[in-house]
Structures are given as C-alpha cells and as structure tokens.
Amino acid sequence: MFVFDQLRSREIPIRVMTAFILCCMLLLAVCLWRLQVSAGNDYRDRQENQSIRAVRLPATRGRILDRHQQPLAMNRLRFDVHMYIDELRPLFYTHYMRLKKGRKMARPEQLELEKEARYQVVSNLTMRVSLRLGQPLVLDREKFHTHYYKHRYRPMAVMQDLSEGQVARFVEQVYTVEGTYDGYRVVTAVPGVDLSVNPVRTYPNDEMAFHTLGYLRRDDDPGSGREMPVHFRYRLPDYIGVDGLEGVYDTLLRGEAGAKSIRVNNISYRTSEDVWAWPEAGYDIVLSLDRDIQLAAEAALEANGPETRGAVVVMEPHTGDLMALVSLPGFDSNKFISGFSREEITRLNDDRLNRWLNRATGSGGVAYPPGSIFKLISAVAYLEEGLLNPEEKVKNRGYFRNQTLYPHYSLDDTAPPGDYDFIKAFKKSSNTYFVHYALTPDGQTDQWRQGKRVLLDWGNRFRLGQKTLTNLPDGLPSPIREGRGYFPARDNELKRKDQFGDKIPWAAGDVANLCIGQGEITVTPLQMAVMTSAVANGGKVLQPRLVMSVDSRQAFGKAQNQEIPVKVLDDLNLKRETVELIHEAMLADVADPDGTGRAARVPGLAIGGKTGTAQIMVPTGKFNPRTGVRLFRTDHITWFVSFAPIDSPRHVVVVMVESGESGGSTCAPIAGSIYRAIRNLERERKKGRPRLAKK
C-alpha cells in the first residue's frame, strides 16, 4: 500500500511522518473498539435507563385585584413530589418475578400478582420518600390502582404542598451518597421521583366574595392553549374556571400553556432540558370592589347569626361601581383546589342554606318580593304624575277598607292610626296612604286602572324584571350570572295564568298589593341598588360596574388596561322637587325617632333609607292528614335600602335578609354597621394609613 511504501523511503522526515500517522490510526482503532465492544453493554444500559419527558407547562393565572390593587385572587408556588409510574416498569417486573418464585400460575392469578407487585413497589418508594421528608405516608391502595389504570400517562402526586423545610430535605436527601466502592462514590436515589413547582391559585381572604370570584376545578385535558409538536406524556396540574369571574373570564385569566422536554438519567438526574414554548401568563382583572368594604359588609351580615341567608350590595350612586357584593352563606374557594373533608362536603350541599345561590344578583333564578321598599317607586310615580299632594293628609284607621268601591278588598296597616301626610306616611311605612293613591284618590271606581298604568310604567323605567349587566362594551361578557326577577310589562293586560292555564285579569286588589311591593313581583338586591342609586343621584339609572379594566388587548382590540366606561341605562328626568322631597322623607325614616329605619343611624352621618318587610308562604314539608293538601307557614323577606350622605351621596347600601323579623329590626342595624365601617375606613385613608379590615 502507499502508506507502507513510504516506510521504505530514503527520506527520513517522510518515514517519521508515516510512522506517526500509523500510530494515530492504531490508537483510533483501539478507542473505537473500547467504545463499541468493550464498553458497549454499559452504554446500552445507560441509554435504556434514560427517558425523555414531554411536559405541559400550565400558565400562571392572571390576578383578580380590587380597585386599590389589593389581591382578591392570586397565585403562590406549590412544591409537589410526583412519581413517574412509567419509569418503574423494570422494578415492577423484578418484584413480580421475586413474588412469583418460579411457580406456574393461571392467567388471572398472574394478573392479580402483577397488580400486587406494582402496588408494593410504589408503596415502598412512597414510604421511602416520605420518611426522608419527615412525614411518613402509607399509599392508598385504591388511589394507586385508579391512577394506574386511568391516568398512567401522567405523574402521580405522592406528596403535595411541601413546606420550605421539606423542600430542602428533598434536595439534600432524595439523592444520597451512601459511601464508596472500589474507589467510586455510590449514589442511591429514589427512582421515578421528581420535585415539581407549580403556580397554584389562592384566595387570600378565604370565603370573601365567593360567589363573585367563583372557583376552579382540576382540568387534566385542557382544550385551550397553543398547539405543540408532540403529544404530552405528562401534564402538570391545571385548573379551569367554573363559576363567577373565574368562569366567565377563564380564557383571559388562564393564559397560554407552554411545553418542554426533559431527559433524565438512570439515577433520576436531569441531563438536559429543552423548552419548546414558554407559558404566557394570564391577564389581570381589576374590579370596582373595595376589599375592606367587602370584608366589613360580610362581617356585618354574619353578625346577624351564623346561618344568616342574605345579601348586601354597596354601590357608588354616580358611577355604578359595585364596592361590595355580598351573598351569604358562602364557601372558601381554596377548598376546590386543596380538597374537601366530609364535614365540608356536608356543609356545601346543605339544601336549606344553599350556599351555591348568589342571593345578591339572583343567580339560579332566586328573587324576592320587595315589600315596602317598592314605595320608593310608588312615591316617584305618584309625584311625577301629579297624583299625590305631599301636604294632603290621609286618614289611617289601622286598615284600608272601602265597602262601596272595593267590597272584596281590605288590608291591615302596620302603622298606627292617625292622619298622614307624605313624610309621615313614608317614614312610618303606612300601607293605607299608598294604597289610597293607587286606588281612590279622586273617588272614581276605575281609578285603580290609572294606578296600575302608572306603577307598571315607572317600574319598567326603573328596569325591574330586567338584567342590569347586559350589553357591556366591546363585547365583554357579563362578569357574573344574574337573575331577572319578575315585573309585568307596561302593556300587561292579564295579571297571570293560573295552574290550569286560565287567564286571570287584573283587579283592584292586585294594584293595591303592587304599590306596597306585595303580590307576585320579585326583584334582586342588585336591582334594588340600581333603583336606590337612581333616587340618590337625581334620576339616572346606571349600569352596575364590577370590572373596571382588563389588562388584555384581546379583550378589547385596543390598548391594554382599557377601562370599562360608566354607562347610563336611562335618565328618568325627575323633577327637582320630587328628588328633594323623597330625600327628605328617606332622611326622616332614619333620623327621626319614630322612623322605621332609625336603627341604621350613625352619629355625624346623614343617612337616607327605607325599610321593607314582605310576607311569603313557605312549604313546611308536611301535609294535611285529611285532605292531603301541602301545609305552609308564613315567613318574611326583610329589606333596607339607603344612601349617604344625604346632601352628596357617595354610597348606596342595600341589605336583604331571608327569614328576618322586619326590615327595621333586622336589616337597618346591619346597614348602620356598614356605614360606620366605611366612615372609619375613609378617615384612616385620609390620614394615609389604610386599614385592612378583617372579618
């Protein structure tokens, strides 16, 4: 060959260079033999023990903030220990053969032994890890088998929410140097185990605003998110919004998931990691709620009793901003992530308390008769239509009865007998006074038809029987579920249909009941806050504003942090005299010693209010043994609607309590507590020391 021919060359440099090349070729051949032949089995074993994990990375969920940037829903880092079942298959087989001991077994017996071998392997590894972390755990057999057969494609959580000390122990002790052997360090590791760091939703105020914020549920196969080049072997825990703001704005809050691949060696160390796409965090949502006012309102309502069923709405009467939206009883949104105890599941599913209902907005179809707070609308209607002379006095005998014109209708009055002008009738909530102007102000037999027309017209102008949060700008969906209640349309000629479908026409008694908020009309506390705000601000019916801004170009197609504007749904164009007279009457209801709302009085603060108590019939669950007819009992829905201060309203407070005693004795004190908390909070903020209210 040419190379060997050069060895016979007479030129010494050529012969030296040729020998050097041959030595290099010989060395290369020896190295290749060592890698491919001598150490081939070792490299083959290492390659078999390596694996690549394609992991879906959930995005960090956007925060929900109050108007002062205080967090209502945020995220924290949670450290979990996961076990990768797929990597334990060699251990499963080895342990299975050890248990089998060479015996011949039928196929069903083999399957059962394989099942037991898998459980024992994972159980031993779980105990080994948990002992090193100072928290011995016994693996639940059924939980493991369920995970193996249904969710084998993803890691199994062995321990969740590790403390800082446990995280340090994991890093230090799971990969442990046992000693040396033949000059080499011996490292023993718990195979198939890894520590994951996940952003977890947390609600720092526990049960606060449960119905408004909503909650999350586990979602292991999310349909949203960008497409990735491979199918994920594993998915880290992810959640989807179910109700409230978390559910309505889930797409914006959730963000875009990412993905990465991880190569793991034979002792579970990561040898390489490749991120295909980083997750993109969700967008923050800023609410009109004031966290401190919300907490104060919830505390005031809870003070009525541990099983209070009710609602509070605090609204800014010139912008429609909802500063508090309370519905009790509620529940801790954190439990939907951390898990429930049996006692908590029982509490959550209590049919009598029905924690799922948002009583403030009427979600789930819940709505309530307004009782005497409807007299605000009756008063506006009578004054604007010129049917009522505020100076004229009406005789109250303790009941309303007119045998000549309405022989089939009579009504008892809770106000004491006497002569009543408008202010006195309003603050004492005289039914006789308002029924008089609905039925017989001119002594005409058909006057009730005019009363019906006026009441239906103004009730619809105040948008009763309609949702208040529809048609938000820029296509943004309504932030919370809302009920309509029921109020007849302006042209309603028939009162209703009975259970047999027969049409029942209006009668004088129906109009009399309507003007005092009884009968079949129903409303929500949110609608009553809109009504009270219109009375407070002089006639502008505002759309409530819960979401002030969203940090998202996708939501608006405009600049980020686009603010939701104030929206006027209707302008009633009330006369100045009407507004001033009603304000005076509402102030008298709270400030005068004989007013029904006097329990809401706060020294130094001029509050205008109106109480209401509506009677309802509630089934007892029992039946008459003779006739088989269901038995009912009388219950009350109690109200207090108000605003303050009377000369320049800044806050509207609406309180509703189911099964209360009366609006004056049950709801007015709750409103007074809220006004005191707001006054103290404003004083502290003026001093530059924000007070964080606690429940």
| CATH code, 454 | 3.40.710.10
Instruction: List phi, psi (to 5°) of 139.
Output: -65, 130
Question: Which one is predicted more confidently, 587 or 509?
Answer: 587
- Angstrom distance (rounded) from CA 508 to CA 294: 43
In 3D space, the residue among 515, 513, 488 whose CA is nearest the CA of residue 616 turns out to be 513
User: Does the pLDDT of residue 558 top 50, yes or no?
Assistant: no
Residue 223 gets which letter from DSSP? S
Q: How confident is the model at residue 543 (pLDDT cuts 50, 70, 90)?
A: very high
The closest alpha carbon to 209, from 236, 180, 234, 246, belongs to 246
Q: Which two tokens stand for residue 430?
A: 């005289």
pLDDT of 212 reads: 94
Residue 156 has pLDDT above 60, yes or no: yes
Task: Assess whether 271 and 301 both reside in one domain.
Answer: no
Please give the sequence-ordered ranges of beta strands (E in DSSP) within 170-215, or none if there are none: 175-181, 184-189, 193-202
> What is the reported pLDDT for 564?
79
Q: Would 248 be classed as within a structural domain?
A: yes
pLDDT at 565 over 80: yes
pLDDT at position 1 is 54
- Specify the pLDDT at position 555: 46
Assess whether 22 and 104 both reside in one domain: no
Question: Which of 538, 536, 537, 646 lies closest to 591 in space, CA to CA?
Answer: 646
**H or E element, residue 345:** helix 342-348
348 pLDDT band (50/70/90 cuts)?
confident
**Which two three-digit tokens encode residue 202?**
């947390």
Kindly tell me if the per-residue pLDDT of 20 is higher than 70: yes
- Is residue 612's pLDDT more than 90? yes
> Is 147 found in the same domain as 97?
yes
Q: How confident is the model at residue 519 (pLDDT cuts 50, 70, 90)?
A: confident
| pLDDT > 90: percent of the chain | 40
Tell me which of 265 and 667 has the higher pLDDT. Answer: 667
Question: How high is the pLDDT of residue 67?
Answer: 94
Q: How far apart are CA 261 and CA 625, in angstroms?
A: 72
Instruction: Please identify, among 235, 267, 287, the residue that sits at the C-terminal boundary of a domain.
Output: 287
List Cα–Cα distances, 644 to 169, 337, 533, 654, 669, in angstroms.
58, 40, 11, 12, 15
Predicted pLDDT at 368: 95
Tell me, yes or no, whether 11 and 108 share the same domain.
Answer: no
DSSP annotation of 665: I
Task: Mark whether 257 and 406 lie in a shared domain.
Answer: no
In this structure, the answer to whether residues 189 and 336 fall within a common structural domain is no
Residue 492's pLDDT band, with cuts at 50, 70 and 90, is: confident
- Which has more pLDDT, 245 or 193? 245
**8 Å CB contact between 26 and 206:** no
What tokens does 385 get? 């239509």
| Domain termination residue (choose one: 287, 306, 323) | 287
Q: Is the pLDDT of residue 494 over 70?
A: no
Q: What is the largest CA-CA distance in the chain?
A: 148
In 416-532, the DSSP E strands lie at: 418-420, 494-497, 503-505
pLDDT at residue number 487: 92
Q: Percent of the chain having pLDDT more than 70?
A: 82
Which two three-digit tokens encode residue 668?
A: 């007015």
User: 19-33, 122-136, 297-311, 506-520 — which one is most confidently predicted on average?
Assistant: 297-311
Co-location of 240 and 340 in the same domain: no
For residue 562, pLDDT beyond 80: no
Please check whether residue 568 lies inside any domain of the structure.
yes
Identify whether 201 is part of a domain: yes
Least confident of 191-205, 229-243, 537-551, 645-659: 229-243
Residue 677 pLDDT > 90, yes or no?
Answer: yes
Asked whether residue 270 is assigned to any structural domain, the reply reads yes
Q: Which long-range contacts (CB under 8 A, 24 or more apart) does 628-636 make?
A: 635/659, 636/660, 636/661, 636/662
Pick from 128-132, 175-179, 210-214, 260-264: least confident: 175-179
> Domain for residue 691, yes or no?
no
Q: 35 near 27, Cβ under 8 Å?
A: no
Is residue 615 within 8 A of residue 635, CB to CB? The reply is: yes
Global pTM? 0.81
For the cut 80, the answer to whether the pLDDT of residue 357 exceeds it is yes
Q: Which helix (H) or strand (E) holds 323?
A: strand 322-328
423 with 479, same domain: the answer is yes
Confidence of residue 157 (pLDDT cuts 50, 70, 90): confident
| DSSP per residue, 289-311 | --HHHHHHHHHHHHTT-TT--EE
Neighbouring CB atoms inside 10 A of 227's CB total 6
User: What DSSP string describes 576-614?
Assistant: HHHHHHHHHHHHHHHHSTT-TTGGG-BTTB--EEEEEEE
Q: How far apart are CA 457 and CA 489, in angstroms?
A: 8
Residue 398, SS3?
A: coil
pLDDT digits (tens, 9 = 90+) for 242-283: 889 999 888 889 888 888 777 766 544 556 677 888 888 888
Q: How is 462-483 classified by DSSP, letter by letter?
A: TTTTS-SS-S-GGGPPPSS---
Regarding whether 524 and 397 lie in a shared domain, the answer is yes
The arithmetic mean of pLDDT across residues 289-316, rounded, is 96
pLDDT digits (tens, 9 = 90+) for 37-87: 666 666 565 555 556 767 777 888 999 999 999 999 999 888 888 888 877
Which residue has better confidence, 381 or 474? 381
Q: Which of 244, 266, 287 is the last residue of a domain?
A: 287
Residue 205 and residue 107 share a domain: yes
How many CA atoms lie less than 13 Å away from 323 in the CB half-sphere?
Answer: 20
Residue range 583-605: mean pLDDT, rounded: 96
> In terms of Cα–Cα distance, which of 75, 295, 138 is closest to 207?
295
Do 10 and 71 belong together in one domain? no
Residue 41 lies in a domain: no
- The closest alpha carbon to 462, from 525, 528, 515, belongs to 528
Indicate the length of the chain as a whole number: 695
In this structure, what CATH number is given to the domain that contains residue 87?
Answer: 3.90.1310.10
Both 453 and 553 in a single domain? yes
pLDDT band at 2 (very low <50, low <70, confident <90, very high): low
N- to C-terminal Cα separation, the chain:
96
Among 234, 198, 242, CA closest to 218: 242
pLDDT confidence tier of residue 493, bands split at 50, 70 and 90? low
In a domain, 39, yes or no: no
- Best-predicted range by mean pLDDT (121-130, 160-169, 372-381): 372-381
Domain count, the chain: 3
Q: Is residue 400 part of a domain?
A: yes
Residue 675, pLDDT score: 97
* Banded model confidence at residue 693, pLDDT cuts 50, 70, 90: very low
Full residue range of the structural domain in which residue 163 is found = 51-287
pLDDT at 264 (0 to 100): 66
